[in-house]
């Protein structure tokens, strides 16, 4: 029996081939009753990256410069959370706009089909780096579909629901929010895209569609933009979003 057991591969050998498909911590090995020092240090480093992402700041100037290429007005906005500490302790304030920002949106209201909002969320690190690549592909697709785009809105200390207020004040038919997702121990730079048809204050999560894990090592910009555009088309066709809007892109028979 001992000879048979010794001839069997251990768990690490079985799981090692899976490492090329995931950044999750699998087959990390062990040292006595604990994990090896190298893996322990990597875990601590990942935890530090996650904490840094949560406290990172939105690069308004850098984002504004990078988004000028789309020839759309850019509106810098701010939630009612004055700083990062208040934002983390008071999620409700991150869902509301400062009065000055609300007035700015009213001054720029029009008849828009799509409102694009970029907010820091829980990882400004992600938002500072990745939305430009998505928008470089998405905005030409929206324009080619004859959809009228509102000014691009940059929201500091913003939560997902603030996008409903932003798009509603601009009189937009549909909102696309790109926001930093909660950092994990394998990804501190992930962007989520939230799509809402007929956005208005008071909506909850079942009214939105979400595309998650947008980053170079997750869902690439091109695939993310194509997925968002597909959902935009379906939302306008069905005049809804959220649980009633199914992602059937790429399914057999479509």
Write down the residue that tokens 């809804």 correspond to. Answer: 240
> Does 9 have pLDDT greater than 70?
no
What distance in Å separates the CA atoms of residue 14 and residue 247, rounded to the nearest whole number?
Answer: 34
Does this model's pTM top 0.75? My answer is yes
Q: How confident is the model at residue 2 (pLDDT cuts 50, 70, 90)?
A: very low
Q: Place 32 in a pLDDT band, splitting at 50, 70 and 90.
A: confident
Residue 252: per-residue pLDDT:
43
Which pLDDT belongs to residue 3?
47
pLDDT tens for each residue of 37-67: 787 777 777 677 677 667 788 999 999 999 9
From residue 187, alpha-carbon distances to 36, 47, 166, 213 in Å are 21, 10, 28, 8
Report whether 117 contacts 101 (CB < 8 A): no
What would the pLDDT profile of 191-240 be if each residue is shown by its tens digit? 999 999 999 999 999 999 999 999 998 999 999 999 999 999 999 999 99
Distance CA 125, CA 56 (A): 6
pLDDT at 186 over 90: no
Domain ranges for the chain, please list them: 54-244
220 vs 33, higher pLDDT: 220
Residue 22, pLDDT > 80, answer: no
In a 3-state reduction of DSSP, which class is residue 181? coil
- Pairing label, strands 208-214, 172-180: unpaired
CA distances from 252 to 74, 245, 248, 249 (A): 40, 18, 9, 9
| pLDDT for residue 253 | 45
What is the share, in percent, of the chain residues with pLDDT greater than 90? 67
Instruction: Supply the pLDDT for residue 37.
Output: 78
> 54-244 maps to which CATH number?
3.40.50.11240
Tell me the per-residue pLDDT of 74-130, one tens digit each, with 9 for 90 and over.
Answer: 999 999 999 999 999 999 999 999 999 999 999 999 999 999 999 999 999 999 999
Q: What is the mean pLDDT of residues 128-154?
A: 96
Query: In the structure, what pLDDT confidence band is assigned to residue 7 with cuts at 50, 70 and 90?
Result: very low
């Amino acid at each position: 029996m001992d000879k048979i057991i010794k001839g069997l591969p251990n768990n690490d050998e079985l799981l090692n081939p899976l490492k090329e498909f995931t950044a999750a911590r699998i087959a990390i090995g062990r040292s006595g009753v604990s994990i090896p020092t190298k893996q322990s240090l990597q875990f601590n480093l990942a935890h530090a990256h996650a904490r840094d992402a949560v406290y990172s700041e939105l690069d308004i100037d850098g984002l504004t410069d990078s988004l000028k290429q789309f020839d759309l007005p850019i509106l810098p906005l701010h939630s009612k959370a004055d700083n990062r500490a208040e934002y983390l302790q008071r999620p409700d304030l991150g869902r509301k706009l400062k009065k000055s920002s609300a007035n700015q949106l009213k001054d720029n209201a029009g008849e828009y089909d799509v409102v694009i909002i970029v907010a820091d969320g829980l990882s400004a690190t992600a938002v500072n780096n990745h939305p430009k690549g998505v928008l470089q592909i998405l905005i030409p697709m929206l324009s080619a579909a004859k959809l009228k785009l509102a000014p691009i809105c940059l929201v500091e200390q913003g939560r997902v629901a603030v996008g409903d207020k932003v798009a509603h004040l601009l009189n937009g038919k549909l909102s696309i929010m790109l926001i930093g997702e909660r950092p994990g121990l394998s990804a501190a730079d992930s962007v989520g895209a939230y799509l809402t048809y007929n956005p208005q204050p008071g909506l909850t999560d079942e009214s939105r569609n979400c595309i998650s894990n947008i980053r170079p090592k997750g869902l690439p910009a091109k695939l993310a933009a194509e997925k968002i555009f597909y959902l935009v088309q379906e939302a306008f066709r069905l005049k809804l979003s959220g649980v009633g809007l199914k992602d059937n892109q790429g399914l057999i028979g479509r």
